[in-house]
Structure 1
Amino acid sequence: MHASDSLHSDRSRIASGHMALAAAQVGFGLFPVFGTLVFAAGGVSPLGVGSWRIGAGALILGAITFAIHGRAALPDRKDIPRLLWCALLGVVVNQGLFLVGLSRSTPMNAGLVMSMIPVFTFAIAAAVRQERFSALRAAGVLIALTGMVPLLFGNGGGTRILAQYGPGNLLMVGNALSYSIYLVISKPLTRRYPALVILAWNYLLSLLALPYFAAGEKLLPDPGFTAAWWSLAYIIAFPTVISYLLAMFGLARVRASTTAIYVYSQPLIAGVASWFAFGEEPTAAMLVAAVALFIGIWLVARRPPHPELPVPKGA
């Protein structure tokens, strides 16, 4: 192969990675909008949607994983307890809190709260010495947490804590914290298994919680509620399966630091889509929160010049 052919191949590979990452963020970013649509009267309950995500994710991702990796997708017995914790925090608690929280809030609020995940992840990773602590990044955590305060006051004019959307936002803060813990405890597994294998087992082991999610819940929209049917189909197809696969495809072709930039687009996508779909306009509290959150995230994302500390033995 000539040097020019190799260069063209590398450029095509990188370009395809960027396109995949952009498409993945659109898929994730629109989730709060379609979630709000499917939760409307006559639609599906929040935990009902969670039931569909767990069931479909386990079936589809499990089938793809075993088709690609075969018996290599079977985890070592010693890793099963950690995988169970990953399933609990990364899927069961994560989805339960997010879906119920979203049903009590708005897509714009959801987009902003979800941007706390990298902040929480750094704070937890630094506490267990997976990440190197620095004063600058610690300041980023404090600024981002300060930005969360207006969201917990909701639209109550700042006079009542947890007003209107506050309870839903607080549940989604718990969701972001749960997923951040998952990212930290799953890190040792990433050294032994492909990302797809870990994701598939997260969903497969989450089937243990499916009866709890589905019991007594409304699982199907009313027959004539077309918007809810399409929204449910979107949630099952994209943020549950396709967006994850696109993100993995992109990660294999683009630097991780570049990937992080794409993740920051999710609140913008959710906000713009909510504005078009529902006429939702950003409040002063949201704007204050957005500025503080993005400054905090930017500071947290700035890595110190030293490499990460090794994971403690026995992790």
Structure 2
Amino acid sequence: MKIPKAFWALALTVITWASAFPAIRVGLDGFGVAGLSLGRLMVASIALAVAAPFLGVRVPERRDLPMIVLCGLTGMSAYQILLNWGEVHVSAGIASLLIAVAPVFSVLLAAAFLGERITWLKTAGSLVAIAGVAVIVLAGGHAEYTASAWVVLAAAAVQGTYHFATKPLLARYTGLEVACYAMWAGTLFLLPVLPRMVHGFATAPADAVVSTVFLGIFPSAIGFVAWGYAVARLSLASSTAALYLVPPVALIVAYVWLGEVPPPLSLVGGVLGIAGVALINHRPRRAASTAPVDGDEAGRSDDQDGKGNSLTAGRSDRSKDPSRG
């Protein structure tokens, strides 16, 4: 049986986003937190700018610029700084487990500012995920680990803010377009640390330079393109379920690449965190049966152009942005 291209794109997304966490650990050597943050975003911004005309990325409307600025500041600039800072003392695999709970913050923000109802499943999922975070934070056994784990959790919080801020934009733009706008805005915010990035490219070890370029091209640029391709053709349930594989794959890649072996208690916390997020994303069958089927919609040729780009901007669920490295 021939595997659809969308599933290959989804697999590519999972692998690239999972590999970002160990790549950050390598890139920090020589670049530092600030230099690596800008270096990754700069490479990604250039790559997406070159590809944007071929991907059908439109110029955003002026009224959306404030929200795009918020997305760039939280989901790109602050996220990169906090995640890189946290990974100075937290292993790549554990960082991926902490970042996976970002949807908890999105749910809380949506309830507070958009008036969205918190169902019992979302409440239970949030509590389970928070319990998982607590286990992970307490599993390290030393102060530096604990402090860095809280920093990574702050990265998850700003990513949750990014997901919340993208909702009004996803009513008018595709997920790929929103990612491009946020990436470019986030790069501009980090330009004050440009000297550190330049110093890193000039003096860092070769493996750190390769990792930084890898982070910009694969997880940040190709990963978002592959994700946009996949979610335009697969159901939301299939796409979201695949993202639960990011932390396990990150643990495997970190073990093979860096030899990292996380504490068993941290893995227990990670399982709790992922289980909580699964509850948050769960849709009751009754609600699903009355809603349009994303997968069926995605297969209609009148919703896509000849290049497979979504022509419908108002489907926020299909363009939902996930947790990523």
Instruction: Please confirm whether the aligned pair reaches a TM-score higher than 0.5, indicating the same fold.
Output: yes
Question: In the alignment, what sits opposite 1:5?
Answer: none
2:219 and 2:49 mapped to 1: Cα distance?
16
Report the 3-state secondary structure (helix = DSSP H, G, I; strand = E; otherwise coil) of the residue aligned with 1:74. coil
Q: Which residue of 1 aligns with 2:132?
A: 147
Pairing 1:127–2:112 present: yes
Task: Using structure 2 for the length normalisation, give the TM-score.
Answer: 0.81
Give the match for residue 87 of structure 1: 72
For the residues of structure 2 that align with 1:248 and 1:130, how far apart are their CA atoms? Answer: 28
1:52 aligns with 2:39: yes
Residue deviations 1:46-68 (CA, integer Å, cap 9, x gap): 21111112222222212322444
Does 2:14 match 1:25?
A: yes
Cα distance change of structure 1 residues 227 and 16 upon mapping to structure 2, 3 Å threshold: same
When normalised by structure 1's length, the TM-score is 0.83
**Relative to 1, partners in 2 of residues 1:136 and 1:195: Cα closer, same or farther, differing over 3 Å?**
closer
Is structure 2 residue 236 aligned with structure 1 residue 256? Answer: yes
Q: Given that residues 62 and 201 in structure 1 are in contact (C-alpha distance below 8 angstroms), is that contact kept between their aligned partners in structure 2?
A: no
Contact persistence 2:139–2:263 (CA under 8 A): no
Larger Rg: 1
Partner of 1:311: none
3-state SS in 1 of match to 2:190: helix
Amino acid at match of 1:16: K
Identity of aligned residues (%): 23
Deviations 1:155-202 (A, max 9, x none): 21xxx6xx2312221111111111111111211111111222222221
The amino acid that maps onto 2:189 is A
Structure 1 stretch 275-284 or stretch 89-98: which is displaced more? 275-284
Partner in structure 2 of residue 171 of structure 1:
151
User: What code does the residue aligned with 2:263 have?
Assistant: T
Does the 8 A contact of 2:109 with 2:161 survive in 1? yes
2:121 to 128, 132, 136: 136
Counterparts of 1:139 and 1:108 in 2: how far apart (Å)? Answer: 25
* Whole-Å separation in 2 of the counterparts to 1:211 and 1:258: 38
Q: Which letter does structure 2 place at the counterpart of 1:140? A: G
In the other structure, the counterpart of 1:4 is none
Structure-2 change in CA distance of 1:16 and 1:98 (3 Å): same
Structure 1 CA distance for aligned equivalents of residues 201 and 86 of structure 2: 20
> Quick one: structure 1 residues 282 and 210, their matched pair in 2 at CA, closer, same or farther if it must change by over 3 Å?
closer
CA spacing shift, 1:297–1:236, aligned 2, 3 Å = same
User: C-alpha distance in 2, partners of 1:21/1:150?
Assistant: 30
Match of 2:252 among 268, 272, 275: 272
1:292 aligns with 2:272: yes
Instruction: Give me the CA root mean square deviation.
Output: 2.3
1:59-70 matches, within 5 Å, as: 59-69=46-56
Match of 1:100 among 70, 85, 90: 85
Identify the match of residue 201 of structure 2 among 208, 220, 227: 220
Do the aligned partners of residues 67 and 130 (structure 1) sit closer, same or farther apart at CA in structure 2, a change above 3 Å counting? farther
Assess if the C-alpha contact under 8 Å between 1:65 and 1:196 holds in 2: no
Q: Which amino acid aligns with 2:201?
A: L
* Residue type of the alignment partner of 2:113: V
Secondary structure of 1:124's counterpart equals helix
Q: 1:103 aligns to what SS in structure 2? A: coil
Q: Structure 2 vs 1, CA of residues 64 and 133 (structure 1 numbering), >3 Å: closer, same or farther?
A: same
Distance between the aligned counterparts of 1:298 and 1:68, measured in 2? 31
Question: Contact 2:132–2:270 (CA<8 Å) still a contact in 1?
Answer: yes
| Alpha-carbon contact 2:28-2:84 (below 8 Å) kept | no
Alignment match, 2:304: none
Deviations 1:102-156 (A, max 9, x none): 1221111111111102232223223334643211220110111011112222421
What SS is found at the alignment partner of 2:260? coil
Tell me which residue corresponds to 1:117.
102
Corresponding letter in the other structure for 1:266: V
- 1:37 paired residue among 13, 16, 26: 26
Instruction: Classify the secondary structure of the residue corresponding to 2:234.
Output: coil
